[in-house]
Amino acid sequence: MSWSPNYVEDGDHLTAVRIDGLFTDAQTWLTGGVTALGLQRGTFNYHHATSVLTPNGEGYTVVNTEDSNIMDYTWATFGASIQWATFGQNGGSGDSGDLGSGDRAIVGHESTGYSGDKAQIDFPAGGFHVGVDNGDMVAAILLLFNGEISQAAPGWGAFSATHPEAAIVFSIQYQADGSGTWHTIKRSERFASVYDHASVSDETADAEEIDYDVPIISMLTEAQINADLGDASAHKISSIRAMVTSYDFQGVQEMAFVIRNFRLTALPLLMKDED
């Protein structure tokens, strides 16, 4: 047994103090001394364990907030076709919020048809130190992203039948300490290719329905932050966002696309780091 009472023996002086002491022993065990041996096997279930995963008992999610509207990534929005060069850092310079530029933009970017939430999560209280020994017991942040490419229209220039004309490129970035540089998680870069067939069919170039879901699952680790910032223990990861751009494989053509739905989730994980 993990606990047993102090039994009264014949001849003991059973004073009030003695009796109180016996019950206090039991109370102490019940209130602060119950060990694993004291628990019935199977006692705890998912109701009790939900908060073990994350510091706040749940993750953080942002979705498009205007279901019926779409996000246009066109030269009408940006002044020119956004063309991938490298995600690199930050969001470039450009329109309001510094989130769209000549080479990339945030998913959920404001456009003619959309003024809802952007694909950016700002963690409460300044965020988390990543690394189990860095104060918040967050060993990593699991990142999940889905973005639906609704339409794409590559190719205003020469047509090539045997080459993918363009790709729509996604990436997840993070920011530390509430300001400053946005760092790209390079492993999260994904792209889906689209094709210009305007010259071989009766389709118009700007109305190709794709409705393709781009899924990304990645993990922001202490090792990644150490590599980007030098010392993960000195920085709180404060924000996560999803970026998008396009890439023309021939390098000369305009590109436009539309995103309809997105969902970005960040799950700071309380656990042991076995990375």
Partner 1 sequence: MSWAYPQYKPTTSWVLDSERFNENLSEYAQETDGKLNEQNFDRVTLDEMVNVNQAGVSADLALKFWRVGTKLIDPTGTIPKTPFTSDWSPIASSTQLFYAPAGKIFVAISFQYANAGAFSGVSAPGSVFAIELDGAVQMSSIVGAADISNEYTFVETDASADILYDSTPSFRAVFEPKCVTGVFQISQGLHQVRGVYRSLPSYAIAASIHGFGTVETNIVWGWA
For residue 31, state whether it binds partner 1 (rule: CB under 8 A): no
Give the CA distances from residue 195 to residues 47, 104, 165, 224, in Å, rounded to whole numbers and listed in that order. Answer: 49, 20, 5, 34
Q: Considering beta carbons, is residue 80 or 142 the nearer one to partner 1? A: 142
Region near partner 1 per CB under 8 A, out of 42-50, 64-72, 102-110, 113-121: 42-50
Rounded to the nearest whole angstrom, what is the least distance from the CB of residue 62 to partner 1 in the complex? 19
Region near partner 1 per CB under 8 A, out of 96-104, 111-119, 165-173, 232-240: 165-173
Q: DSSP character for 229?
A: H
For residue 253, state whether it binds partner 1 (rule: CB under 8 A): no
Rounded to the nearest whole angstrom, what is the least distance from the CB of residue 234 to partner 1 in the complex? 19
Structure token pair of residue 115: 């003024």
For residue 196, state whether it binds partner 1 (rule: CB under 8 A): yes
Structure token pair of residue 79: 């002044």
Q: Dihedral of the CA atoms 31, 32, 35, 40 (nearest 10)?
A: 20
Region near partner 1 per CB under 8 A, out of 60-68, 107-115, 119-127, 154-162: 154-162
Q: Which of residues 79-138 bind partner 1 (CB under 8 A)?
A: 84, 86, 132, 136-137
Q: DSSP character for 100?
A: B
Q: Rg of the chain's alpha carbons, rounded to an integer?
A: 28
Q: CA-to-CA distance for 199 and 208, rounded, in angstroms?
A: 13
